Structure 1
Amino acid sequence: MTDDIAIRVNRLGKKYKISHNTAAYKTLGETITNAVKNPIRRLKGEGLSRSTEEFWALKDISFEVEQGEVLGIIGRNGAGKSTLLKILSRITTPTEGTVEVHGRVGSLLEVGTGFHPELSGRENIYLSGSILGMKRTEIDAKFDEIVKFAEMEKFLDTPVKRYSSGMYVRLGFAVAAHLEPEILIVDEVLAVGDAKFQQKCLGKMSDVAKEGRTVLFVSHNMKAVSSLCQTGLLLNNGSVYARGTASAMVAKYNEMCSGDVVSCRPIFDYARRENQPASITRVRVADQSGTATLIHSILHPILIDVEFVVLKPISHLDVWLGILSLDGSLLFQTCHRDQESYGAGAAPFRAVVDPGRYRARVELPAPLLNEGSYELHLSLQAGTLQFDARRGIIFTIEDENTFASSVLGVRRDGYFCMPIPWKMELVEEEWVD
């Protein structure tokens, strides 16, 4: 091993076994009869055939990270990014291959990872420091800085099991970044929290990188990856697709998303986030006929359904949709209460959203977006407090000789192409200065 290597991954693989219970086809009468005759067998699952499917979340992954390198790990949903970080953080073990990590690791992965739910925020700060091998005096020296960064003075002595997701993230990032790890690992979990704190975290990661420490950063925000990271690792279907400069990997990612969008499934299912009062569970993108698709005509509206669950009453819960360019620039946002906000006469949905399963639908009018590929950003929040956010859904707008291209004979510039009313009239004939 050379002295300048912080992480070395060699032929890494992670396999999961997925069990399926299946039963032979029976008529309704047979099903009822068997259930009455053999209730115990049915409760035990007897009579069902069981099959096991192997799923490789990661396969044959090899790369090295130098000390002081800032590496952005990118890829579409399901590419294996979070699984890789869990292995590097020693949260889970690999099925095959080896991992060498040289240096103290601070990681912020899933919300609440590394915290003991029964302990207070104060106690968890000291617990995290001791796990990293720090002495109490060393933690004491960093304590005030951690609390100030997290902006959670009032809740330090509250058990973290009562924290909101945003509070988890604030304290979790502050602990991971300020306890001076040689290697800082941050997952897309920063998507949970307000925008101001996200920018604060990105600034802190930049400071950590300037101090010569190693940073691994997973994000769907390509602009953040390009600005923060020196190098990039692009994953696809659990394998390394490419490795190079951050800007080059972002370009390849954008090319992959726009080129392969036709093969992507237009329905996205998500597991409910733990410790969240509200979670997005499904997003469906469809055309005006209701057919699920990620390829859309420039002249036809786009239907987006967002399904979510609410576990406890939430005041003024909003469903937000953002459209981003593939470099991560936010083009515009809309909220399910826009009609109410702009005084269009729509009645308020609910001042308090009660527990239950909900579906919100938004119709993007056409023509609106110019030809090209775009990314959806969906979130549930009350004011600036964000409960859940989902990104990485790429869709494409196609233009076939419509006004957006035919007027000039070429594709007009810009992200938008909605027709704007003009009026032109003759004010004086044969006018000469």
Structure 2
Amino acid sequence: MKDIILKVEKISKQYRLGQVGTGTISHDLNRWWYKIRGKEDPYLKIGETNDRSIKGTSDYVWALQNINFEVKRGEVLAIIGKNGAGKSTLLKILSKVTAPTIGNINSRGRIASLLEVGTGFNGEMTGRENIFLNGAILGMTKKEITLKLNEIIEFSGCERYIDTPVKRYSSGMTVRLAFAVAAFLEPEILVIDEVLAVGDAEFQKKAIGKMKDIAKGEGRTVLFVSHNMAAVQRLCTRGIVLEHGKVVFEGEISESIDFYSKITTEELLSECIHKSRLNRIEFNYFKVTRNSIPILQGQIIELGDKLEFEMNFKILDRVTDLSIAMDVLNTNHELVTHITNEDDGLLFEKLEKGQEIAICVNTDHLLFVPGFYTINLWIGTGQVDTFYTIKNLVGFYLEQSDFTKRTKLLPKHSKMYLPTKWNSKVTEND
């Protein structure tokens, strides 16, 4: 028990949709009356699960329900889940930004959180002043903060602007400084949301390295939320998976990622979703084939196969600079590849009302690492207006084949297979 630094017991959070508090004076009085008599809040018995995909019948919704877990000192815990699963709500409760409706949290030591860009920063104050402000909030003395000041400024990469008001910082600069403050002011527990995605690739690598040092070298605890499963795999030791505000899995990080991948695969195997906007085009059909044979949802194809895409649509109003793009995503919703008409120099500079467009796209060999993939379609102008989208256009399983001569399975954490030619020469020495 001495190693347990954070214990979460039966945490639940209820909201009333569209309202602050319970919404009416009568509800608030009713709650107060039950409370002074030592009885349970009557509104805890109502409310629906937090599922954004369906229309509910109650104004009350449970963002979190009966969350229980423990975190040991020096552990890096990943909190994984789809958008709306309750991850950010849980972190806000752990950071004491908001209070749980019911349940208890027992922590030992200071908690520093990085939940969104500029959390806890005063825009009118300079970067340097905000470092001292955040340190004071964490309970550190001015002397302690001063000792860390140069390290914080150097790590953030904001030396030139450290005496400029934070309101003039870009979102990337703000994240850099906020992370540096949270990491270097030595909290016992560091809570980080998806916010690191705002930073550039160099900073993300630097931040992940620092979090590893914090956990392994300094023995402090990190709670990490990210949709980047590669970062989660590298950094975390254990994970919990949230779905609709409930913990549906808890275990080692590789097992947690595999479980999350399974539930996202089920979602991606659902029927494709068409959305038309701005009434600029009329979509007729889309077909995906392999060797002229249509590919069905959930079909198995092989490494090295080639795909053909066919689509047809009609122009309903004059369009300039039409763009067509497709994204291939894996089960973790990570973008594996992005293709567009510009890749082959095919441009649609001006299209007139009434014209019908037929398009055929042929891919090269599919060299993704075996796993499940789905394709989304986007049609619009440049990167400005969206005319038509198809989500989950087709989902397929890619399996290893004799396209590669290797006998061992390709590693799951890789993204692509790169074909290579190998030659060798062996000489005998006397």
Q: What's the TM-score once normalised by structure 2's chain length?
A: 0.62
- Contact 2:80/2:227, CA 8 A, preserved across alignment: yes
Residue of structure 2 equivalent to 1:146: 152
Q: Do residues 257 (structure 1) and 264 (structure 2) align?
A: yes
Please report how far the alpha carbon of residue 157 of structure 1 lies from its aligned counterpart in structure 2 after TM superposition: 1.9
Please report how far the alpha carbon of residue 190 of structure 1 lies from its aligned counterpart in structure 2 after TM superposition: 0.9
C-alpha distance 364-128 of structure 1, shift in aligned 2 (>3 A): farther
Q: Do residues 127 (structure 1) and 133 (structure 2) align?
A: yes
Question: How far apart, CA to CA, are the structure 1 residues paired with 2:141 and 2:325?
Answer: 44
C-alpha distance 321-99 of structure 1, shift in aligned 2 (>3 A): farther
* 1:191 equivalent among 175, 197, 202: 197
Question: How far apart, CA to CA, are the structure 1 residues paired with 2:168 and 2:310?
Answer: 39
Question: How far apart, CA to CA, are the structure 2 residues paired with 1:368 and 1:12?
Answer: 49
Question: How far apart, CA to CA, are the structure 2 residues paired with 1:104 and 1:248?
Answer: 30
Question: How far apart, CA to CA, are the structure 2 residues paired with 1:88 and 1:118?
Answer: 27
Residue of structure 1 equivalent to 2:175: 169
Q: Which residues of 2 match residues 293-304 of structure 1 at below 5 A?
A: 301=309
1:312-367: CA deviations, max 9, x gaps? xxxxxxx9987554468764356x7x83xx79385999xxxxxxxxxxxxx98668
- Contact 1:18/1:54, CA 8 A, preserved across alignment: yes
Residue of structure 2 equivalent to 1:398: 396
Question: How far apart, CA to CA, are the structure 1 residues paired with 2:95 and 2:177?
Answer: 18
SS at match of 1:64: strand
Residue of structure 1 equivalent to 2:387: none
Please report how far the alpha carbon of residue 3 of structure 1 lies from its aligned counterpart in structure 2 after TM superposition: 2.5
Please report how far the alpha carbon of residue 228 of structure 1 lies from its aligned counterpart in structure 2 after TM superposition: 1.1
- Contact 1:372/1:397, CA 8 A, preserved across alignment: no
C-alpha distance 295-134 of structure 1, shift in aligned 2 (>3 A): farther
SS at match of 2:68: strand
Give unmatched runs, 5+ long, in structure 2: 20-56, 276-283, 288-295, 302-306, 312-323, 351-359, 377-390, 418-430
SS at match of 2:286: coil
Q: Do residues 6 (structure 1) and 5 (structure 2) align?
A: yes
- Contact 1:233/1:243, CA 8 A, preserved across alignment: yes
Q: Do residues 288 (structure 1) and 286 (structure 2) align?
A: yes
Q: Do residues 344 (structure 1) and 350 (structure 2) align?
A: no
Question: How far apart, CA to CA, are the structure 1 residues paired with 2:116 and 2:310?
Answer: 32
- Contact 2:193/2:224, CA 8 A, preserved across alignment: yes
* 1:137 equivalent among 108, 123, 143: 143
SS at match of 1:19: coil
Question: How far apart, CA to CA, are the structure 1 residues paired with 2:131 and 2:124?
Answer: 13
C-alpha distance 330-17 of structure 1, shift in aligned 2 (>3 A): closer
Residue of structure 1 equivalent to 2:123: 117
- Contact 2:264/2:332, CA 8 A, preserved across alignment: no
Question: How far apart, CA to CA, are the structure 2 residues paired with 1:222 and 1:325?
Answer: 11
Give unmatched runs, 5+ long, in structure 1: 21-50, 269-285, 304-318, 350-362, 378-392, 418-433
1:10-54: CA deviations, max 9, x gaps? 11111111139xxxxxxxxxxxxxxxxxxxxxxxxxxxxxx9611
Residue of structure 2 equivalent to 1:283: none
Q: What's the TM-score once normalised by structure 1's chain length?
A: 0.62
SS at match of 2:119: coil
Q: Do residues 91 (structure 1) and 97 (structure 2) align?
A: yes
Residue of structure 1 equivalent to 2:211: 205
Letter in 2 for 1:223: A
C-alpha distance 161-95 of structure 1, shift in aligned 2 (>3 A): same
C-alpha distance 366-213 of structure 1, shift in aligned 2 (>3 A): same
Please report how far the alpha carbon of residue 153 of structure 1 lies from its aligned counterpart in structure 2 after TM superposition: 1.0
C-alpha distance 132-17 of structure 1, shift in aligned 2 (>3 A): same
Question: How far apart, CA to CA, are the structure 2 residues paired with 1:117 and 1:126?
Answer: 14
Residue of structure 2 equivalent to 1:236: 243
- Contact 1:287/1:296, CA 8 A, preserved across alignment: no
Name the Cα RMSD after superposition.
4.4
